A and B are shown apart, each in its own frame.
Chain A
Amino acid sequence: MRGQEQLNERPKVEVDASHQYGDLVVYKRLKFAVAANEFICICGPSGCGKTTLLDMLAGILRPSEGAVLIDGRPANPKQQSISFVFQEPSTFPWLNVRDNVATGLRIKGIRGSEMVEKVRDIVEMVGLTGFESYYPHQISGGMKQRVAIARAFVTDADLILMDEPFVSLDQPTRERMQNEVLDIWRHRRRTVVFVTHNLEEAIFLGDRILFLSAKPARILAELPIALPRPRDPVSPEFMALRSQCMHWLHAPSGGQMPAQGKLNHTENR
């Protein structure tokens, strides 16, 4: 659908990097690209270096070799606008909901009525209207994570990184939040990189899924999700995709996986 028009454009994010801590090789020639406004999910076994990857994308960790480019320039949080939704609670307990959401805007020097308006809009979008003056200890865990999501989407971020943001939430809240994120993303077109080890979550959310192997991590497979949204997790198509993906998620470390069905094999692309 949107894919066609993007073919001519330069990708928003280009990764071609290797990274190692001492002798520990985390990534060996990891290579992929993300199109503008794409919602991409990254799936992999725990310990495959997802945090390292996100830190590289956020520009707070330089790969030992190669580069991470955003709009053709090396990722740098001081020059590009990047937002991050963390796995653990990251709201500032000393700020109320309104000021927490405004954090990114304040750092970028956006103040006054422009800031007030942006905050008001996003707070409404995540359903926290009326709670602007509440402090984090007065609201639930789900609401806190909504604050973090609002904080990420309120800036005109080039890139929004989400690190298993719903992992600590209960199942119903988690499902509601997934829908909310899709809703916000629909309204505020942004490029999203969403890391998760939950397969259903990835199939439910993403335009595309990248499967990482265990360390040294490389891309095992890439799977575009063509299902129309909203997606139904119990539909036969969804279930079929899910069982196909199981192979990639449970792949033995670095093992050779045969290309299968309509999956595009992108290894050493």
Chain B
Amino acid sequence: MVVSSTQAGTEASSQAGRGELSFAAASMRTTLWNLVSLACALALWQLAATLVGSPFFPAPLKIVDAFLQLATRGDTFGNSLLRHAWASIERVLVGFGFGVLLAVPMGLLMGLYPKLYAGTRSVLEPFRFIPPIAWIPLAIIFFTGLTRFAFLIFLGAFFPVFTSTLVGVARVEPIHRKVGIVHGASKYWTLRHVVVPTVLPDIMAGMRVGLGTAWLTIVAAELAGGISTGLGRMMTNYAELLQVPQVIVGMLLIGLIGFLMNEVLLLIEKRLFRWRWQVSL
């Protein structure tokens, strides 16, 4: 044997061990603090609602009431909360999915061939600064149903993913490309095994930003009307009836679903990028 592998062994395992311990302890403490701050917020809310004593400032318990009613009996038109929520989620997933499917290949292509981007950026870039909400009037004229929402969300999700992919390709280390080249790798191999792994974290970060934009857009688009389902629609209906608890249920649900979708993406990230996170093996 050439090396004293025992010495190298203790070096690395002590490093991993320390990381593992502090990681578990830190995550426990974080959870605890989050529970405490959540409880504090609810208590403050309850206190304020009691002090104000107005039907337009409902206490947390009223919200729970409204939630249960909406979930079991549905709204004034008989559409259940689940149906509203699913309608919104479906629109977001379809639009977001198409956005990612187009943004990633385009970002990779233009990142690999910067001339392509340089030659077309005066066409592409202005679109980035038109907020998806500004497209709503046109979308209402051109599309109906799912297509309309998918189109708007596509616009909101595309640019964050496209831009971060484009920027990510520029971050590929020349030395990593060279490792492939000296071993006689093809262009496809370099793309698949060097470029994509390097850019993937940027793509995921772009996806999380894009998802935020998508949620932002869906609610605005649903407020614009023309449909009977969707969380935004439900909120507008109840706002017109001046029923605040139901409106707040819609708001909280939007926040919760967005949060959960983000958590799912984070979970995928942690899985995919074990090489970046200090995780125990």
Q: Is the pair B9, A130 in contact by a Cβ cutoff of 8 Å?
A: yes
Residues of B within 8 A of A183 (CB): 2
User: What are the residues of chain B within 8 A of A121 when measuring CB–CB?
Assistant: none
B77 at the interface (CB under 8 A from A): no
- Could you say which of B33-41, B173-181, B247-255 contacts chain A? B173-181
Closest approach, in angstroms, between the C-beta of B13 and any C-beta of chain A?
9
Question: Is B144 interfacial (CB-CB < 8 Å)?
Answer: no
Bound form: Cα–Cα A79–B114 in Å: 30
Residues of chain B at interface, number, CB under 8 A? 32
**Bound-complex Cα distance A230 to B176 (A):** 34
- Interface residue from A88, A135, A155 paired with B275 (Cβ < 8 Å): A135
Does A225 lie at the interface of the complex (its beta carbon under 8 Å from any beta carbon of B)? no
In-complex Cβ contact of A77 among B16, B183, B193, B278 (8 A): B183
Residues of A within 8 A of B4 (CB): 127
Residue from B1, B8, B180 within 8 A of A140 (CB atoms): B8
Choice from A96, A103, A155 contacting B179 with Cβ under 8 Å: A103
Chain B residues positioned under 8 Å from A137 (CB to CB): 275-276, 278
* A130 touching B184, Cβ below 8 Å: no
* A143 to B5 alpha-carbon distance, docked (Å): 10
B12 within 8 A of A: yes
User: Which residues, 5 to 27 on B, are CB-close (under 8 Å) to A?
Assistant: 5, 8-9, 11-12, 15-16
A21, CB-defined interface residue at 8 Å: no
Residue B185 interfacial (CB < 8 Å): yes
Residues of B within 8 A of A126 (CB): 2-3
Task: Judge if A191 is at the interface, Cβ distance under 8 Å.
Answer: no
Q: Which residues of B contact A131 (CB under 8 A)?
A: 8-9, 12
Binary contact readout A92-136 vs B (1 if CB under 8 angstroms, 0 otherwise): 111110000001100110000000000000001111111101111
Contacting A at CB under 8 A, from B148-186, are 175-176, 178-185
The yes or no answer to A78 lying at the interface (CB within 8 A) is yes
Contact pick for A127, options B2, B180, B281, CB 8 Å = B2
B261 to chain A, nearest CB (A): 25
Complex-state Cα separation, A125 to B183, whole angstroms: 21
Q: Is A176 an interface residue (CB 8 A)?
A: yes
A211 on the B face (CB < 8 A)? no
What residues on B are CB-neighbors of A263 within 8 Å?
none
Q: Which residues of A contact B225 (CB under 8 A)?
A: none
A108 lies within 8 A of B184 (CB): yes
Is residue B197 contacting chain A, with contact meaning CB distance below 8 A?
Answer: yes
Q: In angstroms, how far is the closest chain B Cβ from the Cβ of A87? A: 9
B259 within 8 A of A: no
Q: Are B182 and A77 in contact (CB under 8 A)?
A: yes
Q: Answer yes or no: B189 CB below 8 A from chain A CBs.
A: yes
Q: Is the CB of A127 within 8 A of B8?
A: yes
Min distance, Cβ B173 to any Cβ of chain A, angstroms? 8
Shortest A204–chain B CB gap in Å is: 16
| A227 close to B (CB within 8 Å) | no
- Chain A neighbourhood of B183, CB < 8 A: 77, 82-83, 103-104, 107-108, 155
Residues on B with C-beta less than 8 A from A88 are: 175
Partner of B181 from A60, A94, A138, A176 at Cβ < 8 Å: A60
Q: Produce 1/0 per residue, B52-88, CB < 8 A to A.
A: 0000000000000000000000000000000000000
B200 nearest in chain A by CB position: A94
Bound-state Cα–Cα, A139 to B43, Å: 48
The one of B182, B274, B281 that contacts A84, using a Cβ cutoff of 8 Å = B182
A180 at the interface (CB under 8 A from B): yes
Residues of chain A lying within 8 A (CB to CB) of residue B8: 127-128, 131, 139-140, 142-143
B194 at the interface (CB under 8 A from A): yes
Contact between chains at A136 and B175 (CB < 8 Å):
no
A266 interface hit (Cβ, 8 Å): no
The reply to whether B12 and A143 form a contact with Cβ atoms under 8 Å apart is yes
Q: Is A238 positioned at the interface, with any CB of B under 8 Å from its CB?
A: no
Question: Is residue A168 within 8 Å, beta carbon to beta carbon, of the partner chain?
Answer: no
Indicate the member of B3, B180, B274 with the most A CB atoms within 10 Å: B3
Whether A179 and B2, one on each chain, are in contact in the complex, defined by CB atoms closer than 8 angstroms, is yes
A90 within 8 A of B: yes
Q: Check if A134 sits within 8 Å of B281, measured CB to CB.
A: yes
A78:B2 contact, CB within 8 angstroms: no
Question: Does B179 contact A84, Cβ atoms closer than 8 Å?
Answer: yes
Check if A184 is an interface residue, CB within 8 A of chain B.
yes
Q: Pick the residue among A58, A60, A184 that contacts B2 (CB under 8 A).
A: A184
Find residues 192-246 in chain A having any chain B CB closer than 8 Å to their own CB. Answer: none
A223 CB to nearest chain B CB (Å): 27
**30 residue pairs bridging A and B, Cβ less than 8 Å apart:** A78-B184, A81-B184, A83-B182, A84-B178, A84-B182, A86-B175, A92-B176, A92-B194, A93-B276, A94-B197, A94-B273, A94-B275, A95-B275, A96-B275, A103-B179, A103-B183, A107-B183, A124-B1, A126-B2, A127-B2, A130-B5, A130-B9, A131-B12, A133-B281, A135-B274, A135-B275, A137-B276, A139-B12, A140-B8, A155-B183
Closest 3 CB pairs of A and B: A127-B3, A77-B184, A78-B184
